[in-house]
């Protein structure tokens, strides 16, 4: 039975989002939705890495001919910006100050704590950062000069 016939969430996606879902391996989206009600530990909501989103930008910050909507997949973010792979396959880093509204189209990943792949990535990334920090300490100026006092 097709998703459209079964009323699956995949059939509700806009055409631009459907292509991202297909490129992502067409995971079932039914178990990835937000949960706002019920026991606190079972609630899960908010934006996640790889989410498909639509962002409305402040028109005052755009050229007159620019579409104020950005549609695509979140690939990262920092305190001042959100990184998106847009519907045309272009990487865009968008200032949070320019964003008026963010609409979640669908999640493509489990919640952070349930996502074993993401947790492994975070652990490996922390290890890599620690190694880089140690290397920087060893090669920094003044390290190992055996200074004698007195």
Work out the average pLDDT over 110-133.
Answer: 85
* Structure confidence at residue 110 (pLDDT): 75
Report which of residues 114 and 16 the model is more confident about.
Answer: 16
Class of domain 3-108: mainly beta
Task: State how far the Cα of 45 lies from the Cα of 102, in Å rounded to an integer.
Answer: 14
pTM score of the predicted model: 0.66
DSSP code per residue over 23-85: HTT----TTSS-B-SSSGGG-B-S--TT-EEEEEE-GGGS-TTS-SEEEEEEEEE-SSEEEEE
* Structure confidence at residue 3 (pLDDT): 39
pLDDT over threshold 60, residue 117: yes
Q: Which of 25-34, 36-45, 86-95 has the highest mean pLDDT?
A: 86-95
pLDDT over threshold 60, residue 128: yes
Which helix (H) or strand (E) element contains residue 119? helix 116-139
């Amino acid at each position: 039975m097709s998703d459209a016939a079964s009323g699956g969430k995949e059939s509700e996606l806009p055409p631009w989002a459907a292509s991202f879902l297909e490129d992502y391996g067409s995971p079932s989206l039914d178990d990835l939705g937000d949960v706002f009600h019920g026991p606190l530990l079972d609630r899960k909501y908010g934006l996640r890495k790889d989410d498909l989103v639509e962002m409305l930008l402040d028109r005052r910050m755009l050229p007159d001919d620019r579409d104020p909507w950005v549609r695509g997949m979140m690939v990262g973010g920092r305190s001042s910006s959100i990184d998106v792979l847009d519907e045309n396959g272009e990487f865009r880093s968008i200032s949070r100050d320019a964003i008026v509204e963010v609409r979640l189209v669908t999640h493509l990943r489990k919640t952070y704590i349930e996502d074993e792949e993401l947790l492994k990535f975070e652990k490996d990334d922390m290890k890599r950062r620690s190694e880089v920090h140690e290397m920087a300490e060893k090669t920094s100026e003044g390290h190992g000069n055996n200074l004698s006092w007195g």
